[in-house]
């Protein structure tokens, strides 16, 4: 049997076909069994039914649930979700895959409970949903997580498949090599747990990386903190996460930003700027007042950040400084 090249699911791979009659006809027949997949969209189909069932079971679905599924593909997860949930809203960017999914439930009772939205998930206004399940296109992993966490009303949980390293960053704890600004920002608003590892051979075709499934449960109510302010602070202290916070804030670029913001604040509020202004001294004073000057971002957990942030922000307000940019 000869081998022919096929561009399916975004990766070149070889597949054997029967040499019956015309070779081109054999190739066309094989390709007609499934749609061509767009490699730019990172399409990899989960083919292992046990993994698919495990993902759905971890969601703890109820018969009254509306489930949001991102990137349903040909529906291997979708059909299992429909066995339990009241309704599935599937957001699929590729019209060809959405057509395949429609055919899969056509004429079945599940058809009325499946709503397919064709379009870019990141640009789509999301309706109400109780649970999100996704075999996530890896290139949109980070924006997808934050779009979900910003959604209101809050959902109950999300079961999401990610590239292994990204998933490990989401669950990383202080002291871990992968602990970063992403870890802190997500864990501020949600409890994140690792559910299972998924080897590359569970997909067709196998991706170049291993995968993991995580469970994200939003904190309800969310902490009363401006994410813009919080993220501005995290950007500064995680640039060099193993350095002391004093060292991070004493860099010329950070001090220049703070001084410019301080002067802008004073000018827009008709406040005099003292002639002896020493931004560096003010910043170090703030850090010392909350006992964080010698702390290192890589060792601080969410409770540490939350405990100190309220005091930190209050003192910044008192000295009329902004750390937002």
Q: 263's torsion region: left (phi>0), alpha (psi -120 to 50) or beta? A: alpha
Residue 71, annotated as binding a ligand: yes
Residue 151, annotated as binding a ligand: no
Pull the structure tokens for residue 93: 């960017």
Cα–Cα dist 107/157, whole Å: 31
Residue 149, annotated as binding a ligand: no
Residue 270, annotated as binding a ligand: no
Three-class secondary structure assignment of the chain = CCEEEEEECCEEEEEECCCCCCHHHHHHHHHCCCCCCCHHHCCCEECCHHHHHHHHHHCCCCCCCEEEEECCCCCCCHHHHHCCCCEEEEEECCHHHHHHHHHHHCCCHHHHHEEEEECCHHHCCCCCCCEEEEECCHHHHHHHHHHHHHCCCCCCEEEEEEEHHHHHHHHCCCCCCCCCHHHHHHHHHEEEEEEEEECHHHEECCCCCCEEEEEEEECCCCCCCCHHHHHHHHHHHCCCCCCEHHHHHCCHHHHHHHHHHHHHHHHHCCCCCCCCCCHHHHHHHHHHHCCCCCCEHHHCCHHHHHHHHHHHHHHHHHCCCCCCC
Residues whose CB is less than 8 angstroms from the CB of residue 189 and which lie 6 or more positions away in sequence, other chains included? 149, 218, 219, 222, 223, 227
Residue 44, annotated as binding a ligand: yes
Residue 232, annotated as binding a ligand: no
**Residues annotated in a binding site for S-adenosyl-L-methionine:** 44, 46, 71, 92, 120, 135
Q: Which residues make up each annotated binding site?
A: 44, 46, 71, 92, 120, 135
């Amino acid at each position: 049997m000869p081998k022919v090249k096929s561009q399916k699911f975004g990766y070149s791979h070889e597949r054997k076909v029967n040499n019956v009659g015309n070779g081109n006809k054999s190739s066309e027949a094989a390709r007609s069994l499934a749609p061509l997949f767009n490699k730019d969209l990172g399409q990899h189909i989960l083919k292992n039914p046990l993994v698919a069932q495990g993902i759905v079971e971890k969601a703890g679905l109820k018969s009254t649930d509306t489930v949001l599924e991102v990137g349903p593909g040909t529906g291997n997860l979708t059909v299992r979700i429909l066995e339990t949930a009241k309704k599935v809203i599937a957001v699929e960017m590729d019209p060809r895959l959405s057509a395949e999914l429609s055919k899969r439930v056509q004429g079945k009772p599940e058809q009325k409970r499946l709503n397919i939205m064709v379009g870019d998930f990141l640009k789509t206004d999301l309706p109400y949903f109780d649970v999100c399940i996704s075999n996530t296109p890896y290139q949109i992993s980070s924006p997808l997580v934050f779009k979900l966490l910003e959604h209101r009303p809050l959902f109950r949980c999300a079961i999401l498949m990610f590239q292994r390293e990204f998933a490990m960053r989401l669950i990383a704890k202080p002291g871990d090599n992968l602990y970063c600004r992403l870890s802190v920002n997500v864990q501020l608003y949600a409890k994140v747990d690792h559910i299972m590892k998924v080897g590359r051979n569970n997909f067709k075709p196998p991706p170049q990386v291993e995968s993991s499934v995580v469970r994200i449960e939003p904190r309800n109510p969310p902490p009363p903190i401006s994410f813009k302010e919080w993220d501005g602070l995290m950007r500064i202290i995680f640039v060099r996460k193993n350095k002391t916070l004093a060292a991070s804030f004493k860099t010329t670029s950070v001090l220049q930003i703070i001084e410019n913001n301080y002067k802008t604040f004073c000018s827009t509020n008709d406040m005099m700027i003292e002639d002896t202004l020493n931004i560096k001294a003010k910043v170090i004073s703030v850090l010392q007042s909350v006992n964080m000057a010698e702390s290192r971002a890589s060792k601080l957990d969410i409770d540490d950040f939350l405990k100190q942030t309220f005091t930190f922000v209050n003192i910044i307000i008192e000295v009329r400084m902004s750390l937002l940019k």
